Structure formats: C-alpha cells, structure tokens
C-alpha cells in the first residue's frame, strides 16, 4: 500500500488511490493539559479552536511548514494513518512533502513522525515538485517550469527542470501571518479582540492584494478590549488589503528574486508557459492579477489549488520502486527510511 501525505501547516491530506482524497482535515489537535489525553483532532479539533476551557489546549503543531511540536505531530500523523490503514499486515510506503528550504533536523522530524506509525519506507518530495506533478506539469524533461505553492505557513517558489530545482525560495510569511496581522489590526484600530478562526475567515472572504472591483464587507466578532463585552465591527476589503499588503509584497518580491536567479534558457520556457499557482492562499482575491502585473508573465491558477500537492505526492508514488532499486535514473523522490 502506498500513501501520499501532505502534512501542511493548516491542513493535512492523505491519498491512497487515484479517485479521491481519503483525508482532508485541519492539522489541529486538542488535548487535556493536565492528563495529556488527546480529546479531538482535525475538523472536530478546529471547531474547538478558541472555544475551550483553560484545561484544553488546541494547537496547530506545525509552523512555517515544519514541525514545531514533534510529539503532537506524531500523534496526529498516527491518528490519520490509522484511519486509512485498515490492515496492519502490510506496512505502507509513504510519500510526504516538505518545504524547499528545510534543515536536516526538520526533515528528520517529519520522517520520525511518520515512521513512528510503523511504515515500510518514507520518501520525501519537495512541495513544489509534488504540486507540479499534481498539476500535470512535466518537470522531468529539460524544460523549465515555475510553480508557486502558497499555503498557510510557507510560500514555496521553484523553477524546476530535469526532476530537480534550478532556483527556489521558501518564504515563511504566508496565510497564517496574514491572519496574525488581521488580529493585530482589529485590536489596534478597533479595540477588538478576535480569534484565529475569525481572522482566517475574514481573509478568505474579503482580503485582497489589489484594489477590489467591488468593496466587500466582513463582520468581525469578538470581545471589546476595554469593556470585556461582546463586540462586532464591519471591516472592508480595502481596509484589509492595507493590513496584509506587506506580506503580499514579500511574496511578489520572492517570485521576482527567483526569476532573477533563473538561468536564461529556463526563463524563456517560463515566459512561454507561464507560472503555475497552487495552494489555498493562491485563491486570495487579486493574487493572480498582481503577480501577472509585477512579473509580466502569464499566471495559471490550478483548478483545485489546495489539492495539488497531495495529488502530486500520489502521482510520485509511481517512482518509489525505482528509488528503492536505487536505479541511476532521474527520480524526484528522496529516500530516507
């Protein structure tokens, strides 16, 4: 059995066959701080976010695409793998994605979290390569493909050719950082304390990186910082655009930096084919248009952007046999266990 795993900062996805995604749930775990007992995870855990007593802690154990709390990630991965591995007779082989810029220690933490379940093999693939496979790009030929995967913890940018990354960058200010800015803004400007889920919902509903054609309004609900009573404030897309502008600029600059480092022949290919966008955050209003304007290159938005990485990890399982046989052929997978 081969399993594709996208262990994302915001969402974890698993796939075991071509037809559908078996698991797609928030990377959240809720536990009792006194007994350490796991109380909820995934969708149920997310519903508890900001709504628990002091005794329960609800955490996203990944930050910036890497493991922040290893014990909890291990628990989460084990729960999800248990759900789909009905038979424990055959140990699965797992292809998991990692950000482009990751340390050996961080890489090892991902491998350890997965192997603690008892697997036959763990193979890693860079998120951008996986996303490219997921979108049907041919990154194994001598042709340049550029892809930007925009998630909650990272924006991964890469120019790929011959199964490898020719130029790339990982930016750690992504969707979550925008949520944090919205939380800080509500407090600073409106004396309103809001939770993470409210900020995320505001971003997904009205945030934009270019002046909106139609002004949208979102009602932020929370607590008055001075009076301690319930309070709501209506904010507009133009207002939120200014709040997240610096993070948007950081992403655009990252893409431009990578283009500047790209060999000229590959730039030619990218100019012809365009840049592909994947990841949940690529759906932010105006992101495609802004990137197009700032780079002068056509931007292609993938159909189900948040599923590209797990779809690609699953396609990459077809390279496992070759990787295991250690054949001297181009292989996008890194074999680690």
The interface mask with ligand ATP, positions 299-318, x = CB under 6 A, is -------x------------
- Comparison of 166 and 282: residue with beta carbon closer to ligand ATP: 282
Instruction: Give the nearer residue to ligand ATP in terms of CB position, either 32 or 292.
Output: 292
Yes or no: say if 316 and 160 are a contact pair by the CB < 8 Å rule: no
Q: Per CB under 6 A, which region of 6-14, 114-122, 225-233, 242-250 contacts ligand ATP?
A: 6-14
How many residues form the binding site for ligand ATP (CB under 6 A)? 21
Using the contact rule CB under 5 A, the part of the chain among 3-11, 31-39, 50-58, 223-231 near Mg ion is 3-11
User: Which residue among 2, 7, 8, 49 contacts Mg ion (CB under 5 A)?
Assistant: 8
183 lies in the site for ligand ATP, by CB under 6 A: no
The 10 Å CB-count burial string (b at 16+, else e) for 208-234 is: bbeebeeebebebebeeeeeeeebebe
Site for Mg ion in 221-280 (CB under 5 A): none
**Nearer to ligand ATP among residue 143 and residue 288 (C-beta):** 288
Interface characters, 29-68, with ligand ATP (x: CB under 6 A)? ------------------------------------x---
Stretch that binds ligand ATP, among 5-13, 51-59, 73-81, 83-91 (CB under 6 A): 5-13
Instruction: Select from 105-113, 147-155, 219-227, 229-237 the region that touches Mg ion (CB under 5 A).
Output: 147-155
Query: Which of 80, 109, 139, 154 touches ligand ATP (CB under 6 A)?
Result: 154
CA 336 to CA 174: how far, in whole Å?
28
151: contact with ligand ATP by CB under 6 A: yes
| 115 scored as a contact of ligand ATP (CB under 6 A) | no
Nearest approach in angstroms of CB 17 to ligand ATP is 21
Query: Residues 238-277: x/- map of binding to ligand ATP (CB under 6 A)?
Result: ----------------------------------------
The interface mask with Mg ion, positions 82-101, x = CB under 5 A, is: --------------------
Which span (69-77, 114-122, 145-153, 189-197) binds ligand ATP, by CB under 6 A?
A: 145-153
3-state secondary structure 113-167: HHHCCCCCEEEEEEHHHHHHHHCCCCCCCCCCEEEEEECCCCEEEEEEECCEEEE
Binding stretches for ligand ATP (CB under 6 A)? 8-11, 65, 151-154, 174-176, 200, 203-204, 279-281, 283-284, 306
Binding stretches for Mg ion (CB under 5 A)? 8, 151
């Amino acid at each position: 059995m081969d399993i594709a795993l996208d262990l994302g900062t915001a969402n974890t996805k698993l796939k075991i066959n071509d037809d559908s995604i078996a698991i797609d749930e928030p990377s959240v775990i809720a536990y009792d701080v006194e007994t350490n007992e796991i109380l909820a995870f995934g969708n149920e855990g997310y519903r508890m976010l900001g709504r628990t007593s002091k005794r329960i802690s609800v955490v996203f154990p990944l930050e910036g695409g890497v493991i922040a709390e290893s014990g909890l990630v291990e628990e989460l991965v084990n729960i999800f793998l248990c759900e789909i591995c009905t038979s424990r007779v055959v140990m699965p082989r797992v292809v998991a994605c990692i950000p482009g810029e990751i340390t050996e220690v961080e890489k090892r933490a991902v491998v350890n979290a997965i192997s603690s379940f008892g697997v036959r093999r763990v193979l890693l693939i860079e998120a951008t390569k996986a996303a490219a496979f997921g979108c049907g790009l041919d990154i194994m030929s001598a042709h340049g493909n550029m892809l930007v995967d925009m998630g909650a913890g990272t924006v991964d940018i890469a120019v790929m050719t011959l199964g490898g990354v020719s130029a790339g960058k990982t930016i750690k200010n992504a969707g979550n950082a925008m949520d944090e800015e919205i939380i800080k803004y509500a407090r600073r400007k409106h004396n309103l304390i809001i939770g993470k889920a409210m900020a995320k919902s505001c971003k997904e509903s009205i945030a934009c990186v270019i002046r909106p054609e139609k002004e949208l309004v979102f009602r932020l609900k929370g607590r008055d910082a001075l009076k301690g009573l319930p309070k709501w404030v209506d904010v507009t897309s133009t207002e939120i655009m200014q709040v997240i502008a610096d993070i948007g600029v950081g992403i655009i600059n990252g893409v431009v930096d990578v283009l500047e480092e790209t060999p000229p022949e590959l730039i030619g290919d990218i100019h012809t084919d365009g840049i592909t966008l994947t990841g949940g955050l690529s759906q932010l209003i105006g992101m495609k248009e802004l990137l197009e304007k700032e780079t002068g290159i056509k931007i292609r938005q993938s159909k189900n952007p948040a599923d590209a990485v797990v779809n690609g990890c699953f396609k990459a399982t077809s390279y496992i046999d070759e990787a295991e046989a250690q054949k001297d052929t181009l292989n996008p997978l890194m074999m680690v266990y």
